[in-house]
Amino acid sequence: MTHDLDRLKKLLEDAASDARIWDNVCEEINFLFGATGTLLPASNPNFRGLWTAGTKRIKEAMTVYLEKKWIHGDAREPVLKIMFERGYCTDDEVFPDRAARKDMPIYRDFLHPWNFGNVCMIRLLTPEGYWPLTVHFANDHPPLGEDDFTLVRAIQTLFEQATKSASEIAHQKIYDFFQFLNGSETEIFVFDADGEQSFSIDVNGDIQTRDCLKKLLPYEVNRTIQEELKDVLLSSPDMSLSKSYQFTQSGKNINVFVIQIPPSLRHFFMKFKTCAIRTELGDTSALKRSRLKNEFDLTEAEIITLELLAVGKTTAIIADLMNLKPASIRQRLKVIYNKTDVSSQVELVAFYSGI
C-alpha cells in the first residue's frame, strides 16, 4: 500500500512557520495510520506540560493521565526506551500477550476506556533532541505490519526536514521582530520555558547571554518576578497573558512589559517562550503614562496599545505583538476612544502627542 503524504508535507511546511499548526499535523498522522489518538509530547522535562501538540481526544485524555498520576510508574516505559534506541517501538513487542496486557492497571483503567489500547512510539529528531510521537490505536486494532513501519520511516524523514527548517525560519523571524520593536532606549530579554533569562538583544542588535534578572529588574522586584513570569510561560497562547512593571532606577523611569513570543513567530520546539521589553522612559513619557493611568483610567494594556499606535505601529502589528486578533485590538481602541473622548486613530495619536 502507498500513502498519500502530500497533505502531511504541506502541513509540515506550514508548521515550520507557525507553531499553532502542529495540532493539525498530529490530526493528519492520526488519519494516515487509522489511529484513535496521536500525541507529540516533549522528552525534555523543561518542555513538559507546555505547548504539547496532539489530537483533540488525546489531549483530553492527557488531562486525566496527569490528574490521576498515571505518569508515575507508566508500564510502557520499556516501549519508550526501545523507541529512543531503535527509532520506533510498539507495545505488542514488549507485551505480546494482549490478554495479559489488558489486565495491567494503566491499560484496564485508563487506556482501554479511551480506546487507546495499543500504541506505536516513533522517535523524531527535533532541534531540542529526540522527541516521541505516540500514535494510539483502538483496543481491537491488529498488530502493526511492515506497511505501517514504512509509513513510520517516511514520517520520520519528513519531520526531520520540517523541524530543521522551523528552527532556521523562527530564529530569523524573531530577530527581525525584535529589531522592529527596538527603540532608542529599548532592550529585549528572552526567557526559556523555566523562566530563566537566556539572552538579550540591545538597540544595536548585539546579543548577550545572561543567567539572572539583575539587568532587567531591580532586586526588590526580582524576588517575585520568576513566579509571575511562569504564569505567562505556562499559560495557553490563546490567553494572551502579559505582565507589566514600572519603577525608578538611578533616577530613570523604567517600564518592563513581559509577553509570550507570538506563536506565529516561534516554532513548536523552541525553548524560548517569553520576552520582556525593557524601556527607559524620559520625563515626558513617564508623565504621559501617569496622566493616562490616573486622569483617563487607562489600563496598562491600553497604554501600551496607545504608545505603539503613536509610534506608527498598525493594528495588525500590535495584535501580533500582543498575541491577539486584530479585531480585539480594534475593540480595545474603541474603549480607549471612549475614555479619551476621541473618535478615530488620527485623533487618538494627536491626543497622545498633546498630553
Task: Kindly report the pTM of this predicted structure.
Answer: 0.69
Each residue of 180-201: pLDDT tens digit? 555 556 777 777 666 665 666 6
Alpha helices in 36-138 (DSSP H): 56-67, 77-86, 91-94, 98-102, 105-106
**CA angle centred on 321, ends 316 and 323, rounded to 5°:** 90
Nearest to 58 by CA among 40, 85, 79: 40
Local structure of residue 117 (DSSP, 8 states)? -
CATH number of the structural domain 6-168: 3.30.450.80
Each residue of 99-118: pLDDT tens digit? 999 999 999 999 999 999 99
**Where are the extended beta strands (E) located within the chain?**
37-40, 53-54, 88-90, 118-126, 129-137, 186-192, 197-201, 207-209, 242-249, 252-260, 272-281
Could you tell me the pLDDT band of residue 1, with boundaries at 50, 70 and 90?
very low
Greater pLDDT, 285 or 103: 103
CATH 1.10.10.10 domain position(s) in the chain:
169-354
Each residue of 312-333: pLDDT tens digit? 888 988 887 776 788 999 999 9
CATH 3.30.450.80 domain position(s) in the chain:
6-168
Chain Cα centroid distance, residue 13: 18
CATH number of the structural domain 169-354: 1.10.10.10
